[in-house]
Amino acid sequence: MSTAGWGESNSLFIALFGISGIIHIIQGIWYKQRTFAILMVLGCICEMIGYGGRIIMYDDPWSFNGFIMQIVCITIAPVFMTAAIYVTLYRSILQLSPSSASFKPALYYQIFIPCDIISLVLQAVGGAMSSQSNGSSKAGVDIGLAGLSFQVFTLLFFIVLAVQYGVRYRKDRRNGRVKISSLDGRFKFFLLCLSLSLVLIFIRCAYRIYELSDGYGGSALHDQGLFIALESCMITAAILLLNIGHPGLVFDPRRRSAISIDESAHAYSSDETK
């Protein structure tokens, strides 16, 4: 896989992922959001290793170590980020209105986290098989594509359910079934950043399917401008948005709640988290 002409950009993205990861650690400690921080930091570490592999391949295009670092780590990194988003949406539903969900809110992560793990395993196995054959393994490409396709399907299904919840929530609120006085600016900003991050990761995953559709010898895989735009920039923006609109803005137990919820919703939330 050629990385000619883009050596400096790889170093830039390593720096950005490193900075974001450090900020996520600090935010996780400060806001007491450990699960979110762990998942996001794992994603940042994978990205840094992957772009380190790209730097190695920039100097030595035939480096096996560089190839496997890039193929495996950059491919699987967003899986950790989507897992963080799934858990965060579950917590948001508990705060807003659990009764507006089509099913038990806990299913949002009980279903999607295992799907993420399946996607992670398929992509890792496919990447490992491809790296062993230096990209010539059709089976490795097919398994990796299956993992990416499953991830895109999972993300699309998740987005549909999230939109459906939003529609039901607005309807319930208009009809007086949800007694929430207001959503303050923090919660709205947090939801905006979360939604944009999810869309950016979805675009990236759809691009990776296109990129691998012709195998490792295809022209799309060697289009570094497209890679920077639809892989590097999409994921960097998604991670930074989750720094800016961090869940700690609304879930920090030391701060005043960003919303006012009715007693029934609060009771439901308490039962769910026991």
Tokens 């098989």, residue?
129
Q: What gap in Å lies between CA 234 and CA 228, rounded to an integer?
A: 8
Residue 49's SS3 state is helix
Q: What gap in Å lies between CA 80 and CA 116, rounded to an integer?
A: 8
Query: Which tokens go with 229?
Result: 């735009």
The pTM for the full model equals 0.86
Q: Which residues contact 94 (CB under 8 A, 6 or more apart)?
A: 105, 268, 269, 272, 273
Query: Which tokens go with 138?
Result: 């059709």
Spell out a b/e string for 78-92, using b for 16 or more CB atoms within 10 Å of the CB, else e: bbbbbbbbbbbbbbb
Q: What gap in Å lies between CA 43 and CA 204, rounded to an integer?
A: 14
- pLDDT in 10s for each residue of the chain, 274 residues: 444 446 789 999 999 999 999 999 999 999 999 999 999 999 999 999 999 999 998 888 888 888 889 988 998 999 999 999 999 999 988 888 888 888 888 888 789 999 999 998 998 888 888 767 665 567 888 898 999 999 999 999 999 999 999 899 888 888 877 766 556 788 889 999 999 999 999 999 999 999 888 776 677 777 889 999 999 999 999 999 999 999 998 887 776 655 554 444 444 444 444 4
Q: What gap in Å lies between CA 172 and CA 259, rounded to an integer?
A: 16
Cα R_g (the chain), whole angstroms:
20
What's the confidence (pLDDT) of residue 134? 60
